[in-house]
């Protein structure tokens, strides 16, 4: 087996969000699964709940196809490494909060930029909130996940930038071109391990975020040159929905 630390991460193709949003969605169905019940090889840290983000949930939820691929990644990692899921399905309220917060800070930092430029800067790190069934925010589908590496004790490893850090170092290939230092080599090796393991399991990466991978959503379909996405908007099952089904009533999410 080829050492993943020796294989460079390929130069990325920036996403064409207009083309991505135009792809049809033939939702393959299937509810969301709680990832916290996974084996010790796959760990979860619901990061937004831990950070106190309003509306964040204390569990990581994803589609079954995503869940099983994450398990595959976790089991194939080199000895001593583990996979940590920081976020997966995300409520609309959280997406709205993240986007509005980042846009507010960008408007302060880049006051000399026009609105289109500021939105472009924000889009690299947070998708505009959308519950539109034809163009949902990726994390609303249960197909997008944010992941990191940890050691055998569950300690998160340094990856060269913090999760959700809106800076150049967060771009997946940053350390393919960074100055050659011991710290840079370590981060480059870890990002390569994570990238190649996720790609081999069928995911695609958002080039501006080393932590963001997708399976089944519109971005995944665009990068894989697939004619349609597999997953539209979703949400964890609720007690109300179960009562509605049992009574034969129309279900409203």
Q: What is the pLDDT of residue 252?
A: 54
Q: Is 209 a catalytic residue?
A: yes
How far the first Cα of the chain sits from its last, in Å, is 46
Residue 123 has pLDDT above 70, yes or no: yes
Q: Is 212 annotated as a binding residue?
A: yes
Nearest to 189 by CA among 156, 149, 152: 149
Give the pLDDT of residue 37.
85
| pLDDT tens column, 150-194 | 999 999 999 999 999 999 999 999 999 988 899 999 999 999 999
9-13, 15-19, 64-68, 239-243, range with the lowest pLDDT = 239-243
Q: For 16-68, what is each residue's pLDDT tens digit?
A: 999 999 999 998 778 899 999 877 779 999 999 999 999 999 999 999 999 99
The answer to which of 3-12, 16-25, 97-106, 215-224 has the lowest mean pLDDT is 3-12
Q: Across the chain, where does the E strand assignment appear?
A: 32-34, 42-44, 61-63, 81-87, 144-151, 204-205, 212-214
Ordered structural domains, the chain, with CATH: 4-246 (3.30.1380.10)
The annotation status of 146 as a binding-site residue, yes or no, is: yes
Q: Which listed residue (117, 165, 176, 209) is catalytic?
A: 209
Cβ-Cβ contacts under 8 Å for 86 (sequence gap 6 or more)? 44, 45, 46, 47, 60, 146, 147, 148, 163, 211
Is residue 113 a known part of a binding site? no
Contacts of 175 (CB under 8 A, 6+ apart): 160, 169, 184, 187, 188, 191
Whole-structure pTM value:
0.93
CA-based nearest residue to 91, from 193, 234, 246, 251: 234
**Length, in residues, of the chain:** 253
């Amino acid at each position: 087996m080829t050492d993943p630390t020796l294989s460079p991460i390929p130069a990325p193709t920036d996403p064409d969000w207009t083309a991505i949003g135009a792809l049809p969605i033939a939702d393959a169905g299937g509810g969301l699964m709680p990832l916290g019940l996974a084996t010790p090889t796959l760990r979860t840290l619901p990061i937004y709940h831990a950070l106190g983000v309003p509306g964040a949930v204390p569990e990581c939820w994803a589609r079954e196809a995503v869940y099983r691929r994450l398990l595959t990644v976790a089991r194939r990692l080199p000895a001593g490494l583990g996979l940590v899921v920081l976020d997966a399905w995300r409520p609309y309220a959280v997406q709205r909060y993240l986007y509005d917060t980042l846009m507010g800070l960008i408007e302060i930092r880049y006051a000399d930029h026009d609105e289109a430029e500021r939105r472009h800067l924000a889009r690299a790190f947070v998708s505009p909130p959308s519950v539109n069934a034809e163009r949902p925010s990726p994390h609303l589908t249960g197909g997008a996940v944010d992941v990191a590496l940890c050691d055998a004790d569950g300690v998160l490893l340094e990856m060269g930038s913090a999760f959700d850090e809106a800076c150049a170092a967060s771009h997946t290939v940053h350390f393919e071109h960074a100055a050659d230092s011991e710290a840079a080599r370590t981060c480059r090796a870890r990002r390569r391990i994570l990238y190649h393991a996720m790609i081999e399991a069928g995911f695609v990466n958002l080039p501006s975020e080393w932590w963001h991978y997708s399976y089944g959503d519109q971005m995944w379909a665009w990068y894989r040159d697939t004619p349609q996405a597999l997953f539209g908007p979703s949400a964890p099952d609720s007690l109300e929905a179960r009562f509605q089904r049992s009574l034969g009533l129309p279900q409203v999410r």
